[in-house]
Amino acid sequence: MKKTHFLLSLVALGFINSCQNIDEIAVENQKQQEVHNKTVNVTNHDGRPFSTGIPVNAKFVAGPGGSVLMQGFYWGVPDGGNWWNTIKGKITDWSNAGIGAVWLPPASKAQNGPYSMGYDPTDYYDFGNYNQNGTIETRFGSKTELEALITKAHAENMQVYADIVINHNSGGQSEANPYTGTNTWTNFTGVASGKFPRSYNDFYKNAYGNNDEGAFGGFPDLCHANPNVQDWLWGRDDSVGKYYKNVMKFDGWRFDYVKGFGPWVVNTWNANVGGFSVGELWDSNVNTLEWWANNANSSVFDFAAYYKMDEAFDNGNLNVLNDDMMWKRNPFKAVTFVANHDTDIIYNKMLAYAYILTHEGYPTIFYRDYEEWLSKERLNNLIWIHNNKATGTTSILYTDNDEYVARRNGYNGNPGLVVYINNSSTWQERWVETSWSNQQIKDFTGHSNWYPTTQSDKWVKIQCPPNSYSVWSLNQ
């Protein structure tokens, strides 16, 4: 959810305008970044193109390195009901590039109707097929268009993850509330779908207590302790989770603002519904991230790595990449990222993408980075490297303020790789210990024209251009 730290309840247009102002600042920053991130042709020095992972008319097939997730939206995508069609039109290219899943914005009808980004949910079963909150379609389109998008993704062997907002609701009618002694906007008995009707006892404070772990922005705070709420979220055959999975055919979940409720909520959802899940726990403390992931039985976004990358690549201190991160604690529960719809603070993004796409964890590509702001050719090359070479555990070989070298140790016959990141203004060279004896290697990014052969003791000298990266593996 967009973190604007409200101290007032939602005023629809004011809410959207304030968030769009934040987005405009990010756009201006990225325009400046475009000058910095020039497109470089990815070619061999004998004229042959390096593989960027885009075969002709290929469906996504997971490689030895796993998969890559695309965040298929940004804050303030064009309104008018065309976004589902826009994403549908990109699915084949994303699949061809080696992207295995797409994360969509909250898909159901929200209070701000045709202008809402979905984080103020009213009716979880209205995907743009009921006339309420001033519109039939959502900001993103109709239910039919959403279903067509999901069908297209599945035809390309891609998964689709739904953004699930279950901390709070918005858009209810006013009703007398005996627990507050006032009227509250907690009457959702008239939602157009007729499913998951709610009243004051489904929100804090109520018969189950005064509050749970956290509230957000003055919205009515959903009470997960109430059996009626549990039943409608994950228990019933037509619960929100099971409807999304079995009827709409979503494959997984990105849970919004999980600081607002206990990790048992996500754990119970996953046990009853299934599918991939990742939580947005906005916290740089790796102990907190690991605690939540274990108790939620879920992946979690690696905010520890996110802030370390900002310090490393933007502040000239690559030594901090030795610090602890969620992907180091448990790579199978770490979703790494460089930017998203909420936060976009890293300037040297290509170095950050080189980091997450060669390291452990489940890397995420941000829509605007891929489609608008950075070199798609360079990102496709890194995606190919991730899917085909980034295997095995990680060994950090060297760090200083400007240089970082790490080795993926390979797995199940795949040779792994060595990644060299150089944040200085000059070419750098360094002797490193690889996993390979007496074998020729090459830089799969095309940044270096060296084809060195490793010594019998597995050592070799590699190089890296200024403010860039190289990725080395067996020349095969």
Domain holding 238: CATH number? 3.20.20.80
Q: Which domain holds residue 367?
A: 29-390
pLDDT of residue 341: 98
Q: What is the pLDDT along the chain (476 residues), one digit of tens a residue?
A: 543 333 333 333 333 333 333 343 343 344 333 333 333 334 443 333 354 445 555 689 999 999 999 999 999 999 999 999 999 999 999 999 999 999 999 999 999 999 999 999 999 999 999 999 999 999 999 999 999 999 999 999 999 999 999 999 999 999 999 999 999 999 999 999 999 999 999 999 999 999 999 999 999 999 999 999 999 999 999 999 999 999 999 999 999 999 999 999 999 999 999 999 999 999 999 999 999 999 999 999 999 999 999 999 999 999 999 999 999 999 999 999 999 999 999 999 999 999 999 999 999 999 999 999 999 999 999 999 999 999 999 999 999 999 999 999 999 999 999 999 999 999 999 999 999 999 999 999 999 999 999 999 999 999 999 999 999 999 99
In a domain, 469, yes or no: yes
Q: Which of 390, 420, 441 is the last residue of a domain?
A: 390
Q: Which of 345, 364, 390 is the last residue of a domain?
A: 390
- Please indicate, yes or no, whether residues 189 and 152 belong to a single structural domain of this protein: yes
Q: Is 28 exposed, middle or buried (0-12, 13-18, 19+ CB in 10 A)?
A: exposed
> Sign of dihedral through CA atoms 229, 234, 240, 243?
negative
Q: What is the dihedral of CA 225, 228, 229, 230, to 10 degrees?
A: 70
- Please indicate, yes or no, whether residues 381 and 442 belong to a single structural domain of this protein: no
Determine the Cα–Cα distance for residues 222 and 14; give it in Å rounded to an integer. 23
pLDDT of residue 58: 66
- Please indicate, yes or no, whether residues 229 and 306 belong to a single structural domain of this protein: yes
- Please indicate, yes or no, whether residues 376 and 427 belong to a single structural domain of this protein: no
The structural domain count of the chain equals 2
Which candidate, 291, 226, 301, 295, places its Cα nearest to that of 257?
A: 301
Distances (CA, A) of 392 to 359, 388, 413, 418, 437: 9, 12, 10, 12, 18
pLDDT of residue 57: 59
> Sign of dihedral through CA atoms 141, 145, 150, 153?
negative
In a domain, 5, yes or no: no
In a domain, 398, yes or no: no
The answer to whether residues 279 and 300 touch, using CB atoms and an 8 Å cutoff, is yes
pLDDT of residue 34: 38
- Please indicate, yes or no, whether residues 110 and 167 belong to a single structural domain of this protein: yes
pLDDT of residue 16: 34
Beta bridge partners of 213: none
Which candidate, 121, 161, 166, places its Cα nearest to that of 262?
A: 166
The token duo for 130 is 């009921």
Q: Which of 390, 422, 438 is the last residue of a domain?
A: 390
